[in-house]
Amino acid sequence: MKNMLLQKAFTWPSILSQKFLQLRRSILVTCLMIPQFVSAAFWIDDFSGAAEDYRLIRQDKEYKIEAQMLLNTGDELKVLSKTETLHLVQDDNSEIVLTKQNTPFKIPESEPPPSIMGNIAALVSGWLTQSPGEDVKTVTLASRGVAPLLISAASDLENNLMAGLESLVVYWSGGMPPYHVRLRDEDNNAIIEKTNIQQNNVTLTDTAMPSGNYRLEILDEISSTSISLTAVAPDDAPSLFNKILESQAPIKIKQYYATMVLASQPKWLFQALQLTVRYDLQHVKQNILDGHVPDPIDTSLFKTGKQ
């Protein structure tokens, strides 16, 4: 009996000590998590339905929401439809799903995003509603009464790609099916060919294009068109593109804005189209195909740190 009492006397302090350590750990974890929540920048990751199914109020003014849109402290979001959802992401990669039942939702106090991401967000804001800037066109060699063949998101001057691409996505308009797509190397050898294509797009697989010059050709029974492609090392991509991918922003946000940097430069637009497929940026891909591209990025803003 005496031994049992002694054992309990020693056991309770041990249990209390363990409980205290657990409590201290919980408090520490909570203290670490709260500042991340309070200070994290918020972005619109994605949403179902149409932008009209949501309402964004910023300083008593109403704005149209966009995917990957940066949100400010005090912004109020409302989901108007019972069936739609709005996904927010923070720069610590945590996510909040908003519905009609849990809105309006007000963005808590948050710090600005990293300067690079903040500047990019400001520069490309509203690009979805802008009209096309520079015309993109290709050389049509022949046409007989039908709309000429035009390769989408391509220039007849210069089109850069990142070397090593395992697949190449090609869209075009005009002509009449069936189509014939051919990729030639700088020695004019056909390295990939696809025939009897009935739709106006194709994915060329197993390309693995090393650095060098190529020509992409599309033919139908009565016309043809072609563009030049230059595969360059990834290090030759715009420095801002690589800086964004190396930043601490959420992955999808980085992918979106890095793609926008490329899309703002005509010679990188074709590569930007490839990234929209790789990163599943469907709305960005469609707007590029429709000819809507961001204004050119003013890189001087990033040297001065201006927002």
Q: Which two tokens stand for residue 226?
A: 């072609």
Which helix (H) or strand (E) element contains residue 215? strand 212-219
Any idea what the Cα angle at residue 74 is, between residues 71 and 80, rounded to 5°? 75
Domain ranges for the chain = 42-111, 139-234, 237-304
Q: CA-CA distance, 20 to 192, in Å (whole number)?
A: 67
Q: Which two tokens stand for residue 54?
A: 């949501």
- What does the pLDDT read at residue 125? 56
pTM of the model: 0.71
- What does the pLDDT read at residue 302? 56
Q: CA-CA distance, 281 to 273, in Å (whole number)?
A: 9
Tell me which of 2.60.40.1220, 3.30.1360.120, 3.10.129.10, 3.30.70.1020 is the CATH number of domain 139-234: 2.60.40.1220
Q: CA-CA distance, 179 to 64, in Å (whole number)?
A: 40
Residue 134: CB atoms within 10 A of its CB come to 12
146, 155, 156: which is closest to 200 by C-alpha?
146
Name the amino acid, one letter, at 176: M
- What does the pLDDT read at residue 157? 87
Q: What is the mean pLDDT of each run of 10 residues along the chain (307 residues)?
A: 47 45 36 36 90 93 87 93 94 89 92 71 55 42 69 92 94 96 95 96 92 96 94 90 85 89 93 94 88 72 45
- What does the pLDDT read at residue 268? 96
- What does the pLDDT read at residue 295? 74
- What does the pLDDT read at residue 277? 94
95, 75, 86: which is closest to 49 by C-alpha?
86
